[in-house]
Amino acid sequence: MDNPKPGLSARETPAENMTEALISLENLTGNARLIRERIAGKARIMGIVKANAYGHNVHRIAEALEASGIEDFGVANIHEAIELKTGGALKNPARILAFASPLPSHIEFFLKFGIEMTVCDAVTLQAAKEIAASQNKTLRVQVKVDTGMGRLGISPSTAMEMLREIDQSPYIELSGIYTHFAESSSENGFTEKQLTAFKALTAEYEHESGRTVCKHAANSGAILSHPDSWLDMVRPGILLYGYHPAKKTPCRLDVKPVMQFEAKVIFIKTVSAGTTVSYNRTWSAPGPRHIATIAAGYADGYYRALSNKASVSINGKAYQQIGTVTMDQIMVDLGTQHNVTIGDKAVLFGWNGPSAEEIADIAGTISYETLCAVSSRVKRIFV
Ligand SMILES: Cc1ncc(COP(=O)(O)O)c(C=O)c1O
């Protein structure tokens, strides 16, 4: 949605947007600085920019992170990696790691685009060896170890065998070993268990091979709660975007939201007591009321689960959202007196309204999902 239709110049399409996600690159770099201060130079930082940088726009986020000194980027898969690599935002030959175990047909593209590939199983490793050898090229891989997340990764008990095989493969180069935590914000001992298993494996590998390798494990929760897990590199995602991974973490950083989701007031009406609003008539006016219609709905990423539960901020004042959230619009109760006019901005979440975490709480989810849900129909504006 970023560009006008081919054949139409920007001047031939409306300049004013109905919905916008303001992206504060200043808040982003401030958050990156706070993370850097927290780890006090003890480890490299990999900027996690998967899922279009948690909905913020991967190119602009990666560009700003690179300018702030970050050289490593983590994405979900080869498609996102190619998008980042070829998008032109990165000035330097950054290291890009794709976290997903690849499909066999993807392997040649890691070679073609110089992306680091995650390896978690023998079949994929064998295919990678054959493809790299057939092209006479070296493929850089990182071995992902499942120490307890239960999603992707080779088990610690068989990882040594795979690491030996990689070291014996002339066309495969090991550039890292990593694991992922299942509940890193918690202090119940599970993260320590995962970390102990990971450290034992990597120590055995480094001892036996006589070489050192980049070892990494810490996501945002572990950056805050488990300093012993920082190792050679940390992998913050949600903290970069201005939110904490959990309500309670032993350490809090003064991070600021990077996204503000806004939509315009497009209609205002006056209704009498008993008038119902929206699908299934879940709200009726308790008395005469002014009602505003705002140009964002669940197709923009404003969850239907928020119906009758959330508030928005208009001109610095909170107004209750009323009636069922529809695909393209929501309604809010302006009360009996107001100074709202058509074209005013409603903040659905962000630094001048409810936070993405508050919205997530109401909808029964987490800030990660609330940020990622903001759809491509919403124009990103970089401020
Ligand atoms: C492998 C990996 N590392 C790091 C992260 C970043 O996590 P967070 O956003 O909690 O910092 C993620 C995100 O889920 C991930 O999948």
User: In the listed set 218, 234, 250, which residue is the last one of a domain according to the structure?
Assistant: 234
Pick from 235, 268, 263: nearest CA to 335: 268
Q: How far is the CA of 99 from the centre of ligand 1 (A)?
A: 10
User: What pLDDT is stored for residue 319 in this prediction?
Assistant: 98
- Do 90 and 150 lie in one domain? The reply is yes
Give domain status of residue 361, yes or no.
yes
User: In the listed set 198, 219, 234, which residue is the last one of a domain according to the structure?
Assistant: 234
Q: How far is the CA of 7 from the centre of ligand 1 (A)?
A: 40
Give domain status of residue 29, yes or no.
yes
Q: Looking at ligand 1, which atom is closest to the CA of residue 54?
A: 9
Cβ atoms of residues 266 and 19 within 8 Å: no
User: What pLDDT is stored for residue 1 in this prediction?
Assistant: 43
pLDDT in tens, the chain (383 residues): 445 566 777 778 899 999 999 999 999 999 999 999 999 999 999 999 999 999 999 999 999 999 999 999 999 999 999 999 999 999 988 899 999 999 999 999 999 999 999 999 999 999 999 999 999 999 999 999 999 999 999 999 999 999 999 999 999 999 999 999 999 998 889 999 999 999 999 999 999 999 999 999 999 999 999 999 999 999 999 999 999 999 988 899 999 999 999 999 999 999 999 999 999 999 999 999 999 999 999 999 999 999 999 999 999 999 999 999 999 999 999 999 999 999 999 999 999 999 999 999 999 999 999 999 999 999 999 99
Give domain status of residue 145, yes or no.
yes
- Distance, in Å, from the CA atom of 337 to the CA atom of 270, rounded to the nearest integer, reads 11
Q: Looking at ligand 1, which atom is closest to the CA of residue 180?
A: 1
- Do 313 and 346 lie in one domain? The reply is yes
Is 50 assigned a catalytic role?
yes
Report residues whose beta carbon is within 6 angstroms of any ligand 1 atom.
Answer: 48, 74, 99, 180, 219-221, 235-239, 245
User: What pLDDT is stored for residue 336 in this prediction?
Assistant: 97
Question: What's the number of domains the chain is made of?
Answer: 2
Buried b (16+ CB within 10 A) or exposed e, 167-187: eebebbebebbbbbbbbbbbe
Burial of 30 (0-12, 13-18, 19+ CB in 10 A): middle
- Do 280 and 141 lie in one domain? The reply is no
Cβ atoms of residues 179 and 145 within 8 Å: yes
- Distance, in Å, from the CA atom of 79 to the CA atom of 65, rounded to the nearest integer, reads 20
Name the residue of 219, 231, 357, 369 whose CB sits within 8 Å of the most ligand 1 atoms, as the mutation to test its pocket. Answer: 219
- Distance, in Å, from the CA atom of 346 to the CA atom of 330, rounded to the nearest integer, reads 11
Nearest-CA residue for ligand 1 atom 9 is 237
- Do 288 and 225 lie in one domain? The reply is no
- Do 208 and 289 lie in one domain? The reply is no
- Do 134 and 271 lie in one domain? The reply is no
- Distance, in Å, from the CA atom of 283 to the CA atom of 266, rounded to the nearest integer, reads 20
Give domain status of residue 62, yes or no.
yes
Is 256 assigned a catalytic role?
no
Helix (H) or strand (E) holding 98: strand 95-98
- Do 298 and 344 lie in one domain? The reply is yes
Give domain status of residue 15, yes or no.
no
Q: Looking at ligand 1, which atom is closest to the CA of residue 46?
A: 4
Q: Looking at ligand 1, which atom is closest to the CA of residue 219?
A: 11
- Do 223 and 363 lie in one domain? The reply is no
Pick from 288, 359, 278: nearest CA to 324: 278
User: What pLDDT is stored for residue 9 in this prediction?
Assistant: 75
Q: What's the CATH code of the domain at 69?
A: 3.20.20.10
User: What pLDDT is stored for residue 93 in this prediction?
Assistant: 85
Give domain status of residue 18, yes or no.
no
- Do 206 and 335 lie in one domain? The reply is no
Cα–Cα distances (Å) from 122 to 107, 128, 129, 376, in that order, read 14, 10, 10, 38
Three-state SS across 257-298?
CCEEEEEEEEEEEEECCCCEECHHHCEECCCCEEEEEECCCH
Length of the chain: 383
Give domain status of residue 16, yes or no.
no
Identify the domain containing residue 267 by its residue range.
Answer: 259-382
- Do 215 and 291 lie in one domain? The reply is no
Q: How far is the CA of 76 from the centre of ligand 1 (A)?
A: 10
Q: What's the CATH code of the domain at 368?
A: 2.40.37.10
- Do 224 and 266 lie in one domain? The reply is no
- Do 176 and 50 lie in one domain? The reply is yes
User: What pLDDT is stored for residue 255 in this prediction?
Assistant: 98
Give domain status of residue 352, yes or no.
yes
